[in-house]
Structures are given as C-alpha cells and as structure tokens.
Amino acid sequence: PEAARPAPEPADTAESGRGAGWRADAENMFADLLRPRGRRGAPRDGEDFTVRLRLSFEEAMLGGERRVTLPTGKTLTVRLPPGMSEDRPLRLKGHGAPGEHGGQAGDALIEVMVKPHSLYRREGRDIHMTVPVSVPEALLGGEIRVPTVHGPVDLTLPEGTKAGQVLRLKGKGVPADPRRGLPAGDGFVHVEIALPDRLSEAARAALRDWQARAPYDPRKGLG
C-alpha cells in the first residue's frame, strides 16, 4: 500500500501579509523616484551682444587686429578682415550671452563705423581718389608720386593727359581676403588739372610764344 503523505502545512499568513506590504511599499518608492519634481524649461539660446568700433579708413580697408571688450567685461583680440564696411558686422560665434536649459550661447556682433577720408573713397573693393597735376605734367606726361592706403607709389602720366581722365593702379585697392575668397581691388586716380594761382611775367611770355607756335581751337566742332 502507498505510504501516507503528510498533509501540506498551511501557509504562514503572517509572512504572506508582510510580503504583500513590501511589494506595495516598493511600488510607491519607485513611483516617487520616477515622478517629476518640477517642469524644466525649454532650451533657450542666449542673446547676441553688439560691440561698436570706430575705425579709420585705412584700418577698415587693410584690416588687422583690435582688442575688444564685451559687455561681460571679457576682452578679446579680434582679427578684422580687410575691407570691413558698416553694413556687414563681424560675427564672433558663441561669445554672446549664455543659453538657458541647454540652449546655445549667443554671438558677439562687431559693428564698425568708418571715418570718412579727405582723399579716398571706396567703391566695392576698389579705392578712388582725385589727384591734381600741373599743366606741364598733363601736357608732357611723366612720373608723379601719389599716395595710396598701401603707401606712396609712382604713377606714369601719359603725354596729353586730360582733366577727368582715370588711371588704374593695379592691386592698390582693398587687399585680397583668401579666407572669404575675395580678390584684391584696384586703385583709381581721377586726374584734376590744377592751374597756378598767379603767373610770372616769364611764364606769361612762354605761354604766348607757345600759343603762337602751336595754335589750336578746343571749341572746334561745337557749332
């Protein structure tokens, strides 16, 4: 005959009760850990700073380095590219106000004010100037020395140069900017014939003699 098996003991109700309570406490604990403690704001980028620099005409055309102090008090050495203009600020990435909640920092914008020059004027990457020449220089031609933003250079006047004639100085405009892929500009000399304030008697006699020997009518053909 099959041996009798002992009846299974009843489960310990006290232990069962403690297990159920532990599970409930654990669920509440994890729920507390996972529950957000406060709503985090959306990422917000920092604001841009604006710094204004006043440059001479030569500084704006040739470029260089300038020390710039930001509104935060931080000082930077900034490379100014050649040919800076008032309508195109220089952007320094990430040097503005810091972002919030993981947002990116703003930028620093360097705006320039270029002082007008008494001789030079800019057109694109070219630099123009008006240069006076004497009557003998215009008639006979020859070399004259003219200023440029790069320093003085010699310019050859052709014989019979006329008032208003424009002569080119290759490469004497705004320098090339390889970083931005911009070529060098040219210099342009607009000739202005300057008459003397007074003539000596010898100069008058020479002009009368020249007029007699080589007469010409500049108004021929006007009707």
Same domain, 154 and 103: no
Tens-digit pLDDT profile for residues 26-49: 566 556 655 655 566 788 888 999
More confident residue, 147 or 33: 147
Same domain, 198 and 129: yes
Q: Which residues pair with 138 in a beta bridge?
A: none
Measuring CA to CA, how many Å separate 64 from each of 59, 61, 163? 7, 9, 36
* Spatial strand order in the sheet of 90-92: 49-55, 108-114, 90-92
Same domain, 206 and 163: yes
Query: For position 166, which CATH number holds?
Result: 2.60.260.20
Same domain, 125 and 173: yes
| Percent of the chain predicted with pLDDT > 70 | 82
Same domain, 156 and 85: no
State how far the Cα of 94 lies from the Cα of 106, in Å rounded to an integer. 5
* Domain span including residue 109: 49-114
150 is a domain residue? yes
Domain boundary among 94, 114, 134: 114
Same domain, 97 and 165: no
Same domain, 102 and 126: no
Same domain, 140 and 103: no
191 is a domain residue? yes
Record the pTM.
Answer: 0.74
State how far the Cα of 205 lies from the Cα of 25, in Å rounded to an integer. 122
Domains in the chain, number: 2
DSSP state at residue 88: S
Same domain, 66 and 149: no
Same domain, 124 and 108: no
- 84, 63 contact by CB (below 8 A): yes
Domain boundary among 82, 114, 146: 114
pLDDT reading at 14 higher than 90: no
- Reported in sequence order, the residue ranges of 81-198 that DSSP labels E, i.e. its strands, are 90-92, 108-114, 120-123, 126-133, 142-146, 153-157, 166-169, 187-193
Tens-digit pLDDT profile for residues 72-94: 899 999 999 999 999 889 999 99
State how far the Cα of 52 lies from the Cα of 101, in Å rounded to an integer. 30
Same domain, 159 and 197: yes
